[in-house]
């Protein structure tokens, strides 16, 4: 009973902080979902775009730029990175995963060039979280309010966009590129625009996280991809993915629940290094579960390979 009581007390103390972080990191999950689900474009650029947004935002704020303008600049840089990944894939016929790895690798050097060093402190400078009404700046409540408002705006905007002609065209390219092209839809425009949009969200998340924690680091994106994928799997398992509304809701729901589970594990005493192993095993289980339910294990796959 003492263990349960202490765990619950620690979890309650961490809840506001992890809720604020989950709302910020939900944008990364959105950046993973759009190429993965909408475009069927498995992409790793998010792991490079996230620190890119953070480094750009941190450098601009340190130079005295308005925090909101710094986020916009980070968003545009992330969009450019995603567009480059899609262009590399389309122009040079390089696999999407390899194109993402190449861009992620190059962004590490670019991030170092942007900041001139591996990390940068911006403690004491202003942030968009200072603009939250009726709460004290710097407290988790201010971050929850601002991140929640931005998240709601993004959700509503994307829900509207994917029901427009351009949004439907992007979804058609993901469903069947050949058929979409036969209908006069530009596969290049939809793919580059969609992957760019996804990386823009990841960069926005990095910019918000830097303003939240007060420093930028070139290694801040390490492992963010697997965490985001785990959050996406949880969200889709809870709300589903069979409509635009549900698919857009899944990243936010999944991010909140995933990071609350992480918080609960830490409160229960799990060593932080073990979280990566637990996350990897969880994602593996979620990906393997549909196949196991259908009774398709490894043997049929090997038989197909022999054929």
Residue 265: the pLDDT is 83
Over range 81-87, report the average pLDDT: 97
Contacts of 206 by beta carbon, 8 Å cutoff, 6+ apart: 28, 49, 50, 51, 52, 53, 54, 55, 57, 74, 78, 220, 221
The residue written with tokens 């940068």 in the block is 120
171-217 pLDDT, tens digit per residue, is 999 999 999 999 999 999 999 999 999 999 999 999 999 999 999 99
In angstroms, the CA 172 to CA 20 distance is 35
112, 218 in Cβ contact below 8 A?
A: yes
Per-residue pLDDT band for 157 (boundaries 50, 70, 90) equals: very high
Per-residue pLDDT band for 305 (boundaries 50, 70, 90) equals: very low
pTM, two decimals, is 0.90
Torsions phi, psi of 296, nearest 5? -105, 90
Higher pLDDT, 264 or 295: 264
Over range 233-254, report the average pLDDT: 92
Over range 250-269, report the average pLDDT: 89
Residue 304: the pLDDT is 44
Q: Is residue 41 scored above 50 in pLDDT?
A: yes
Question: Long-range contacts: 73-77, Cβ < 8 Å, 24+?
Answer: 74/203, 74/204, 74/206, 74/207, 75/200, 75/203, 75/204, 75/207, 76/200, 77/52, 77/53, 77/203
Domain ranges of the chain: 20-121+132-256
Q: Is residue 30 scored above 90 in pLDDT?
A: yes
60-80 pLDDT, tens digit per residue, is 999 999 999 999 999 999 999
Q: Is residue 297 scored above 60 in pLDDT?
A: no
Among 96-110, 141-155, 253-267, whose mean pLDDT is lowest?
A: 253-267
Over range 118-134, report the average pLDDT: 89
Per-residue pLDDT band for 3 (boundaries 50, 70, 90) equals: low
């Amino acid at each position: 009973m003492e263990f349960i009581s202490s765990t619950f007390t620690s979890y309650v103390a961490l809840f506001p902080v992890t809720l604020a972080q989950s709302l910020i990191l939900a944008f990364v999950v959105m950046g993973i979902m759009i190429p993965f689900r909408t475009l069927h474009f498995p992409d790793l650029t998010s792991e490079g775009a996230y620190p890119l947004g953070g480094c750009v935002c941190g450098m601009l704020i340190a130079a005295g730029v308005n925090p909101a303008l710094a986020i916009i600049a980070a968003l545009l840089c992330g969009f450019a990175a995603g567009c480059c990944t899609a262009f590399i894939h389309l122009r040079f016929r390089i696999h999407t995963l390899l194109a993402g790895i190449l861009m992620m690798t190059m962004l590490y050097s670019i991030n170092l060039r942007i900041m001139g060093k591996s990390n940068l402190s911006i403690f004491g400078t202003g942030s968009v979280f200072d603009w939250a009404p009726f709460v004290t700046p710097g407290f988790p409540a201010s971050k929850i309010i601002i991140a929640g408002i931005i998240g709601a705006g993004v959700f509503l905007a994307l829900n509207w966009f994917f029901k427009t002609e351009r949004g439907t065209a992007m979804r058609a390219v993901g469903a069947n590129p050949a058929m979409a092209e036969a209908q006069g839809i530009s596969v290049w425009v939809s793919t580059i625009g969609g992957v760019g949009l996804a990386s823009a969200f990841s960069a926005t998340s990095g910019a918000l996280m830097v303003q939240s924690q007060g420093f930028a680091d070139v290694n801040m994106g390490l492992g963010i991809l697997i965490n985001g994928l785990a959050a996406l799997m949880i969200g889709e398992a809870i709300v589903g993915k069979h409509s635009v509304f549900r698919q857009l809701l899944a990243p936010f729901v999944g991010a909140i629940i995933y990071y609350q589970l992480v918080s609960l594990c830490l409160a229960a005493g799990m060593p932080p290094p073990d979280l990566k192993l637990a996350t990897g095993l969880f994602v593996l289980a979620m990906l393997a579960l549909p196949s196991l339910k259908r009774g398709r294990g490894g043997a049929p796959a090997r038989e197909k390979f022999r054929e």
